[in-house]
Amino acid sequence: MVYPLKMHGEVNPLPVTTCIEAMRGHGRCHTTRRYEPYSAYGIKEGDIAIAYAGEQKVALRVGKQYLITQEMLSDTEYQKQWKGMEKHGAKELQTFQGHRNTWGIHFEPLGDYIDGKIVPFPAMEKLEEKTANTIVTDIQKLEEWRQTAQYLGKSENYINRIQELIEGESITEKATLAMSRDSEMLAKQVASQWREILALKSDYIEQQGGQLVFERKGNEGKYRATWKQTTDTLTLESKTITEGSIKYAHLLVQQGLEITQNQVTVKDAKNVDLALKVIAESQKQRQEQR
């Protein structure tokens, strides 16, 4: 682990600048190689190994290795996950593009290796606290995924598998990819429905009681959607009020079939379902009045 953290212009959020120091209580738990680590190092999952950087040594427990595909290298969700594990900047992952034998390997730093003994890192308590927080975050992500899968009508076996991951408090590599695919499917469905709303001749849609407001460009509402037909670009934003001023945060941006930003939830999907229902009922009432 002799290399510095490669940030490629990004701000380094850690108080350290090297790979081995990032292992010492700062969350680095993964490394990437252009060869199969188990074979190259003669190690297997569960072994205790030593990472070197000059005279500095860190003991670690070897985790799972896995092949990193070209599709994974291009996946935004995997890029975020990789950055969190490696502590390099996200652009460093792109240096592995074109290499068909790229491998990732997980590990658990155990402590400094001094005179043949494993000595806990000075900040080990903070690391354990961070690990506990990570588990909570993983469970929240899995629960959101379970709701997404149910909304998309996935099979009972599919839902049960997600529940098993929730109970095991862990997210596998395979699950991460499936979660990303389901999230993009949900976003595309919401984007398609918004296009339908924006194509209708109705500028203001509100549920009885003011619990739901969907409005087109130029109006103030819970969501603001714009659709540039010339470029086929749909932008969906969520309204927030900060210190008395109204601001909008991107939920998704879709050009054609490609989602470039994707933060929609099942709640957003259910709201747009309800908006379409309100529109349909409103149009029915207008027709009856005529």
- Number of Cβ within 10 Å of residue 197's Cβ equals 19
Is 0.85 surpassed by the pTM of this model?
A: no
The closest of 134, 137, 139, 151 to 265, measured between CA atoms, is 151
Report the share of the chain in percent with pLDDT over 90. Answer: 44
Which one of 115-119, 235-239, 263-267 scores highest in mean pLDDT? Answer: 115-119
More confident residue, 287 or 2: 2
Using one digit for the tens of pLDDT, what is the confidence trace for 125-168? 554 555 556 667 778 888 999 999 999 999 999 999 998 888 87
The domain locations on the chain are: 19-122, 136-171, 185-289
Cα–Cα distance between 290 and 70 in angstroms, integer? 58
Chain mean position to CA 270: 21
pLDDT of residue 201 exceeding 90: no
More confident residue, 46 or 290: 46
Confidence band for 208, pLDDT divided at 50, 70 and 90: very low
pLDDT of residue 124 exceeding 70: no
Confidence band for 246, pLDDT divided at 50, 70 and 90: confident
pLDDT of residue 227 exceeding 70: yes
The closest of 233, 265, 270, 261 to 77, measured between CA atoms, is 261
Fold for the domain defined by 19-122: 2.30.130
Quick one: pLDDT at residue 230?
A: 80
pLDDT of residue 219 exceeding 50: no
Quick one: pLDDT at residue 187?
A: 94
Of the given ranges (85-94, 174-183, 210-219), which has the lowest mean pLDDT?
210-219
Task: Quickly list DSSP for 141-183.
Answer: HHHHHHHHHHHTT--HHHHHHHHHHHHHT---HHHHHHHHHHH
Of the given ranges (7-11, 36-40, 104-108), which has the lowest mean pLDDT?
7-11
Show the tokens assigned to 209: 């009681």
pLDDT of residue 289 exceeding 60: yes
Quick one: pLDDT at residue 34?
A: 93
Confidence band for 13, pLDDT divided at 50, 70 and 90: confident
Specify the DSSP class assigned to residue 5: P
Average pLDDT, the chain: 84
Pair 45, 63: CB distance under 8 Å: yes
Compute the average pLDDT of residues 182-194: 92
